[in-house]
Amino acid sequence: MTARKYLMGLCLGAIAVLGCAAGSLAEEAAAVQDQIVLKSGSKILGTVTGSRDGVVTIDTDFAGTLNIDLDKIASLQTGNPVVIQLADQTVIPEQPLRIQDEVLVIDTATSPEQAYALSELLLVNPEPWELGQGYKWTGLASLAVSAQRGNTDTDELDSTIESVWRSKQDRYTLRYTTENDKTNGDTTVEKWYGQGKYDYFFDGPLYGGIQASAEHDKFTDLDLRYLVGPYIGRQFYEKPIFTLSGELGASYVNEDFVEAQDDDYAAGNWAINASSNYLGGDSRLYFDHRGILSLEDTADYILYTTFGLAFPLLWSLEAAAEVQLDYDAGAVEGVDKLDQTYRFRVGYTW
C-alpha cells in the first residue's frame, strides 16, 4: 500500500467516525428536547418554559416562542425536570412534566404514579412570589405630551406612575397622576391625584384592604380632597382573556376648597377594574371605575371612569389611547360637573 492510499484511508476513516459522532450528538440533542403532540396530530419540539392560565409556553427553533392551550394538547413530555404547582397549591419540584392521553401524570420517587385532570395543573415553573417567596414588582410610568401652534397655542402634559408589589398573601399599590394644560401661556388645567392601597388576600377570591388618597384640581376650586378608609374586595375572574374585580368600602372624606366652604363627611366608596386581551397581539382593553357617595347627602357623589386600549411597542414600552370621565354631582357653583379628557400616552412597563 502506498503512502498516498494509506493517508486517504485514514482520512476516510476519520470522516466516518466524525459523521457517526455528529449523528449521535444530533440524536441526543433531539432526545432531550421537550415534545408536545397536539390533538390534530402535529408535533412540536422545543423547550417548555412554563404554564399558567391553561396555556403552555414552549420555545422553538423554527417559530420562536409559542403559546399552546392545554385543551389542544394530546400528550406532552419534558426532557428535564420542572416545578409543578397543582390547583390545591401542592408543589412538586424536580418532576418532568408528562401529559398522556389528555391527563397529567405525576410519578415521583416517593409516591406511585397518579393521574390528574389537566384542570388541576395550575402552574409550571412558577415565579418565586407564587411559591410564597418575596414580592413581584410591576409598574408603569407614562407620559402624554401635545403642543399646538397657530391661532391658539396649547401645551398639554399628563403623567402617570403606578407601582404594585404583590406576594402570595398581600399587595401594595401606589398611583400618582398629573394633568397640566396651558393655552396661550395661561394655565387652564392643573390637577393631580395620588393613592396608596394595601390588600390582604383571604382564602379564595376575597380580600380586604385599606386605602388613602388625595387630589387637587385648581380650576374646580378644589385645593385638597383626601379620603381614608377600609374596604372588602373580590376577584371575580383572573384570566388574561378577562379579569374583573370589585371593591366596596366606607371612608372619611375631607374637602378643602379655595373659595367655597370646606366640608367633611362619611362616605361609601367602590371600585371596579376589568381588563381583557381578547383582541390578541398582547394588547389590553381596560376599564377602571371608582366612586364616592356621601352618606350625609346622597345627592353628593363623585364618579371617576377611565377606559382605553393599550398595546406593546418595542422593548418594554407601551402605548395607549384612553378616555377619562370625571363627574362631580356636588361641584361648586360655576364649575361643570363633567370633566372629559382624551389622551394618547406612551409609557414604560416593568
Closest of 35, 37, 39 to residue 48, by C-alpha: 35
List helix spans (H) across the chain: 3-32
The share of the chain scoring above pLDDT 90, in percent, equals: 64
Cell of 298: 346622597
Please, which residues bridge with residue 280 across strands?
A: none
192 and 179 in contact (C-beta within 8 Å)? yes
- Residue 185's SS3 state is coil
Alpha-carbon distances, residue 54 vs 59, 64, 285 (angstroms): 17, 20, 20
Alpha-carbon distances, residue 86 vs 22, 47, 125, 161, 344 (angstroms): 40, 21, 11, 35, 41
Alpha-carbon distances, residue 18 vs 9, 10, 15, 124 (angstroms): 14, 12, 5, 39
249 and 230 in contact (C-beta within 8 Å)? yes
Geometric angle at alpha carbon 309, from 248 and 280, rounded to 5°: 110
Q: Which residue has the higher pLDDT, 305 or 25?
A: 305
pLDDT band (50, 70, 90) for residue 155: confident
Q: Which residue has the cell 372588602?
A: 232
The answer, yes or no, to whether residue 111 has pLDDT greater than 80, is no
For residue range 16-73, list pLDDT tens digits in order.
544 544 444 444 444 568 999 999 989 999 999 999 888 899 999 888 889 899 989 9
332 and 316 in contact (C-beta within 8 Å)? no
* Spatial distance between the Cα atoms of 211 and 25, rounded to a whole number of angstroms: 60
Residue boundaries of the structural domains of the chain: 33-126, 136-349
* Spatial distance between the Cα atoms of 147 and 143, rounded to a whole number of angstroms: 13
Cell of 185: 401661556
Contacts of 288 (CB under 8 A, 6+ apart): 271, 272, 273, 305, 306, 307
For residue range 283-300, list pLDDT tens digits in order.
999 999 999 999 999 999
The answer, yes or no, to whether residue 305 has pLDDT greater than 80, is yes
Q: Which residue has the higher pLDDT, 237 or 110?
A: 237
286 and 265 in contact (C-beta within 8 Å)? no
345 and 322 in contact (C-beta within 8 Å)? yes
Question: Which CATH code for domain 136-349?
Answer: 2.40.160.40
Contacts of 180 (CB under 8 A, 6+ apart): 156, 157, 158, 187, 189, 190
